[in-house]
Amino acid sequence: MFALLARDFREIIAELRDYRELLWLMTRRDIVIRYRRAVLGFAWAIFTPVVNMVVFTIVFNRVAKIQTDVPYPVFAYAGLLPWTLLSSSLKAAIASLVSNKGLVSKVYCPRELFPLSSILVAGVDFVAGATVLAALMVYYAIAPTWTILFLPVILLVQVMFMTGLGFLLAIANLYFRDVKYLFDVGLSLWMFATPVVYPVRDIGGLTGIIVNANPMTPIIDAYRAVLLGGQLPHPVAFTAAASISFLLCVVGWIVFHRAEYTFAENI
């Protein structure tokens, strides 16, 4: 069984390497389409997390005050930025096959390119949004420490998680178009089950168990730890999240690859 999985994965990587230029062209096309004729251009990449930061700052600083180790605006934005990356990636990935049905049904290429392109486009927005986080850290005099070197590892873990889940959601939406709408509802609930805008230490009981079992919880906390706290992520929780993300990525990718030959007849 493991030999078959290894063979499938080698085939996937080889195809992706052969079609890497097409992946780049698709990503560039999607970026151009997204911001063409947009007055604010790339400013839209930071609009959502910044507006959410302002709203939650008003709510949790003045209505229901939350105690955080750093000023709340930078605390909230450090959680909203990776969460926006996740939500944008999955929303685009889930519709990637259906929105490219002409290419899926008429032109051969590895179908993995469509969800991957969606994730790369969201990654461009993430980089743009990171400039705001850097500005907030300067404003609040939060100096980065050597732990920031661990940031690429955290980002890699999140990308693996998004990739595996994006593949599975894209398949599900291809066969059942209701999945897209159900996911939109589930995404809102998922955000509040993740410590995006509140510290996880403030949650106890059954709710605390659910929040801590959420794979995105240690990932969000890891961003804050290395960027704002000068600490490495919690070793047990982050290792568990990394293991889940890796397994989800491998399984999701292989399932997607094996199913792609039936996409054209079901699109």
Digit-coded pLDDT (tens) for 144-196: 899 999 999 999 999 999 999 999 999 988 888 788 888 988 998 898 888 88
* pLDDT the model gives residue 217: 92
Short-list 37, 30, 132, CA closest to 81? 132
C-beta separation of 117 from 30 below 8 A: yes
Helix (H, G, I), strand (E, B) or coil at 100: coil
pLDDT exceeds 60 at position 68: yes
What mean pLDDT is reported for the chain? 83
pLDDT band at 221 (very low <50, low <70, confident <90, very high): very high
Q: Two tokens at 191?
A: 């955000």
Q: Return d(Cα 196, Cα 221) in angstroms, integer.
A: 9
Q: Two tokens at 111?
A: 């179908």
Query: Does 249 or 203 have the greater pLDDT score?
Result: 249
pLDDT exceeds 80 at position 220: yes
- What is the pTM for the complete model shown? 0.88
The residue whose two tokens read 């929040």 is 211
Mean pLDDT to the nearest integer, 218-245: 94
* pLDDT the model gives residue 109: 72
Crossing angle for the helix pair 151-175 and 113-139, to the nearest 10 degrees: 140
* pLDDT the model gives residue 7: 61
Please provide the DSSP assignment of 165-181 as one string: HHHHHHHHHHH-THHHH
Tell me 2's DSSP state.
H
C-beta separation of 127 from 83 below 8 A: no
